[in-house]
Structure 1
Amino acid sequence: MRTPLIGGFALPCLSVLLHGSAMAQGFIDDSTLKLQLRNVYFNENFRDENGLSTRAAATAKSERTEWAQGVLLDFQSGYTQGTFGLGFDALGLLGVKLDSGRGRSGTGLLPVHADGRAADESTSLGLTAKARFAQTVVKHGTLLPKTPVLVYNDARLVPQTYQGTQLVSKDFDDWLLTAGQLDQFKLRDSTDSRSIIPDGYSGREGGDFTYAGADYTVNKQLRLSYFRGQLDDFYSQDFFGLLHTLPLGAGVLTSDLRYFFSRDEGNHYSGKIDNGMFSGQLSFAVAGHTVAAGYQRLNGDGGLPYINGATVYSFSNVGIGKFIEEDEKTWLASYGYDFKNLGLPGLSFMTRYISGSDGKTGPAGVNEWERDIELAYVVPTGTLKGLGVKLRNYVYRSDTARGRDSNRLYLTYDIAVW
């Protein structure tokens, strides 16, 4: 006669299974899978004016025109239950060429082969392990850092990604703490990982980038920030920020002040840097209208250093130019309108003008300007909710660089799979 397994073996096994099922419940139930489709047409024509770079212009491309389809699949798990939870994320990226040519490649949408032709397709998979303790989350693997000293670039077909470890904590009231160390990155138009280098550096080897900082919410209207970033043997950078909102009549006045202090570090492979940059903007929003004006100034040796391919956390990082050369002074004015006040939710318009002067790049002086126009619409409700179209027109001119006229059309569709 067979003895029922109720004691020494069956019940412990059942307990483990039930406990494991409970732990995994949050991992599964809180997970999300999002799909974004990006169809991008990019056309940029170069303008060689004022007799600049005549020899170079004679052999350089007169235009860059490409059309490509991007697919972004973003899976984010929940966490196993308990004070200490574990999770897992995955980011799949696909780019497919729809139209290009050897003489028209290099828009930043797709990788470019040695023969000057764009790749037919590119794929990349990023995996991230994560752990949560109370209100602190640690992630290791593929990251999309977004701090004042490093902002990943997401202005083309697929985003720029980084490899490393990052900690974000909300355990202290009114404080958001962030720290991380990165050792590799991929450009937005490349599937190859490489060590991290600053913009403009022509060497092959880079270094590790470490960063740490805090955002402190003083009250509902005021937030203060401090961050420090360091790229080994290249540069270090301190950031101080103040963001304040003030109800004013029927609208809101926002003051956004930012200051960067950068200097060379270690073997200073990218040259001498001892630079301060103030960047400030005032904006007033009322009844769907937003009017803004800003001023920026650099002082000291070198321009503002930043990681190759990344977005600069500055109002001057616009459609084409960045306006961050040594000693450059920049003015900015912009206007935006949200058409929901006219009964058209999802439709928006923006235009801006930015002018920089007295900058230096080597022995040459820099005077540059840019005018941008953007019109965007995202379906707000219904079956096609999340379907968007954005048209961008940028015009850039400089005393020391080729002028550029750029037209870009983005069709996007965000789908929450679950």
Structure 2
Amino acid sequence: MTMVLRFTPLFVALAATMPQAQANDEAPEGFVEGSSLNVLARNYYLNRNQRLQGVRDNREWGQGFIGKFESGFTQGTVGFGLDAHAMLGLKLDGGGGTAGSSILPYSTTSKEGYAYGKAPDSFSNAGAAVKLKAFDTVLKAGDLFLTNPVIAGGESRMLPQTFRGFSLANNSIEGLLLEGGQASFTKLYNQSGRQRIGTTYGALPDDRESRHLNWVGAAWTPAENLSTSLYGAELKDIWNQYYFDLDYTWQLSELVSLNPGLHYYHTQDTGNALLGKIDNNTYSLHLALNVGYHSVTAVYQRVNGNTPFDYITLGDSVYLDNSQIYSDFNGPNERSWKLKYTYDFAGLGIPGLSTAVSYSRGETDLTKADPNSAGYARWYSAEGQNAQHWERDADLAYVFQEGDFKDLTVRLRWATHRGSQGYSAIDNDVDEYRVIVDYPVNIF
């Protein structure tokens, strides 16, 4: 694989900050002195009861281990380091009749797109990235854990998703992060091998693929309780995607605050337009009222475009307020809303225990989907003029505060989704629950 470093505006900006940062650059801790090794043991059970006739239910249970080593940087003007990781997934339950929940690998996919077949007893993956640091700027190349609005690895399953490429980040200015990079391959959360980067909702032609994704962005905290970010990405021969957000917390008193916020994406086809014509503007608005240990949030979300809001394959780069446990509420021309309530039981003298419940509802006109956008043909429905769906979600989590199990987290998640006849072809009717136990171990 050949990676070409382009002089984007981000790299020019990073270079411009280096002279100012040099005088304040602190000596690195050292390769060994700054090293750490952590292991996360994650036990994951997912039961997805498919309500459609003829569709298999999915029930899988697995034990995952995620080990991460991060070195410090060597002494000198340019410091060198190494990050490495290894992952192991073990099947505890999941036969051929219930496979396909997305926790474990699957061996076969039906012509309707449903996964089945007996999952292997284990699967694993390992990777590493070399890194260089100079003047508050860090360059990494290799296997990366990435988290930003245009390329974020999925963290919602037993094992995380990773990317292969390079990244560059600069923190010379307090409160400002500048970053960019390129990724060509991804390791999905339920697979051992790597594949070219694609999209979650689009279907690429069998003989075509995108070669890489380039991104550049900035995250800024100009004042206390105020944050904003601006990102741009190019998924070669598929789309250019731009993102903006703004979030502010207005502290009315010691116990009461208001939190308004905005997330906005614009996606436009580019190059060979492998998924056809795309002209999509998607945004969400939220307003949260926080009173003591209680919080109530109202959300409005809108997709303006005849294709769904799409993002990187099975990742978490969908920074929208109405992306739920099961559905993203991101269909073509979809309008949706949500009400959410959260409570921290520290208010009742039980620190570490928290809960959240929400209800979301959406409506879309699928008949307006662009017939020339062959990559999104699965969204077309003659019965989808006023397609509607809703989802109920509940989350209960406890983090042990002390003792031998300190920091161990037990999380229970429930989701119920229902859709009208036109919408059920997109997001099935399901009853789903998950049991997730995380136990982090700091080795050094």
The TM-score normalised by the length of structure 1 is 0.89
Q: What are the equivalent positions in structure 2 for 1:43-62 lying under 5 Å apart?
A: 43-48=47-52, 57-58=53-54, 60-61=55-56
Shift of residue 25 of structure 1? Answer: 6.2
Helix, strand or coil: the match of 2:195?
A: coil
- Equivalent residue, structure 1, for 2:443: 417
Q: What are the equivalent positions in structure 2 for 1:254-333 lying under 5 Å apart?
A: 254-311=259-316, 312-333=318-339
- Equivalent residue, structure 1, for 2:369: none
Provide structure 1 residue ranges, at least 5 long, that are not aligned to the other structure.
1-22, 49-56
Shift of residue 90 of structure 1? Answer: 0.8
Helix, strand or coil: the match of 1:138?
A: strand
Q: 1:197, 1:207 within 8 Å by CA — same for their partners in 2?
A: no
Counterpart CA distance in 1 for 2:258 and 2:129 is: 39
Counterpart CA distance in 1 for 2:432 and 2:204 is: 27
- Equivalent residue, structure 2, for 1:4: none
What residue identity is the alignment partner of 2:243?
A: F
- Equivalent residue, structure 2, for 1:10: none
Helix, strand or coil: the match of 1:381?
A: coil
Distance 1:359 1:142, change over 3 A: farther
Provide structure 2 residue ranges, at least 5 long, that are not aligned to the other structure.
1-26, 109-115, 367-378
Helix, strand or coil: the match of 1:340?
A: helix
Q: Name the Cα RMSD after superposition.
A: 1.5
Counterpart CA distance in 1 for 2:152 and 2:321 is: 13
- Equivalent residue, structure 2, for 1:336: 342
Q: What are the equivalent positions in structure 2 for 1:119-130 lying under 5 Å apart?
A: 119-130=120-131
Question: CA offsets, 1:77-124, max 9 Å, x none?
Answer: 111123321110111110000111111001111111237111110010
Counterpart CA distance in 2 for 1:24 and 1:167 is: 18
Question: CA offsets, 1:309-339, max 9 Å, x none?
Answer: 1121111211000111111001011011111
Equivalent residue for 2:231, pick from 222, 227, 230: 227
Question: CA offsets, 1:241-276, max 9 Å, x none?
Answer: 111111013222112201111111111111221011
| Residue 203 of structure 1 pairs with residue 205 of structure 2 | yes
| Residue 362 of structure 1 pairs with residue 380 of structure 2 | yes
Q: 1:292, 1:334 within 8 Å by CA — same for their partners in 2?
A: yes
Question: CA offsets, 1:340-386, max 9 Å, x none?
Answer: 12221111101111111124232434311100001001112222112
- Equivalent residue, structure 2, for 1:16: none
Helix, strand or coil: the match of 1:301?
A: coil
Counterpart CA distance in 1 for 2:197 and 2:333 is: 26
Equivalent residue for 1:372, pick from 388, 393, 412: 393
Shift of residue 173 of structure 1? Answer: 3.5
Counterpart CA distance in 2 for 1:206 and 1:192 is: 18
- Equivalent residue, structure 1, for 2:6: none
- Equivalent residue, structure 2, for 1:52: none
| Residue 216 of structure 1 pairs with residue 216 of structure 2 | no
Q: What are the equivalent positions in structure 2 for 1:10-49 lying under 5 Å apart?
A: 26-48=30-52
Helix, strand or coil: the match of 2:346?
A: helix
Helix, strand or coil: the match of 1:306?
A: coil
Select the structure that is richer in strand: 1
Q: 2:283, 2:320 within 8 Å by CA — same for their partners in 1?
A: no
Shift of residue 280 of structure 1? Answer: 1.2
Counterpart CA distance in 1 for 2:228 and 2:58 is: 41
Counterpart CA distance in 2 for 1:202 and 1:409 is: 34
Q: 2:204, 2:274 within 8 Å by CA — same for their partners in 1?
A: no
Helix, strand or coil: the match of 1:27?
A: coil
- Deviation >3 Å, runs of 4+: none
Q: 1:83, 1:133 within 8 Å by CA — same for their partners in 2?
A: yes
Q: What are the equivalent positions in structure 2 for 1:62-73 lying under 5 Å apart?
A: 63-73=57-67
Shift of residue 175 of structure 1? Answer: 1.7
Q: 1:273, 1:303 within 8 Å by CA — same for their partners in 2?
A: no
Counterpart CA distance in 1 for 2:228 and 2:219 is: 6
- Equivalent residue, structure 2, for 1:51: none
Counterpart CA distance in 2 for 1:173 and 1:241 is: 19
Counterpart CA distance in 2 for 1:125 and 1:252 is: 44
Q: 2:28, 2:79 within 8 Å by CA — same for their partners in 1?
A: no
| Residue 396 of structure 1 pairs with residue 400 of structure 2 | no
Helix, strand or coil: the match of 2:180?
A: strand
- Equivalent residue, structure 2, for 1:163: 164
Counterpart CA distance in 1 for 2:365 and 2:407 is: 42
Name the count of aligned residue pairs.
386
Distance 1:25 1:333, change over 3 A: closer
- Equivalent residue, structure 2, for 1:385: 406
Distance 1:261 1:67, change over 3 A: same
- Equivalent residue, structure 2, for 1:112: 106
Q: 2:169, 2:178 within 8 Å by CA — same for their partners in 1?
A: yes
Shift of residue 203 of structure 1? Answer: 3.2
- Equivalent residue, structure 1, for 2:355: 349
Counterpart CA distance in 1 for 2:44 and 2:210 is: 31
Q: 2:238, 2:275 within 8 Å by CA — same for their partners in 1?
A: yes
Distance 1:356 1:416, change over 3 A: same
What residue identity is the alignment partner of 1:210?
A: N
- Equivalent residue, structure 1, for 2:91: 97
Shift of residue 24 of structure 1? Answer: 9.6
Helix, strand or coil: the match of 1:341?
A: helix
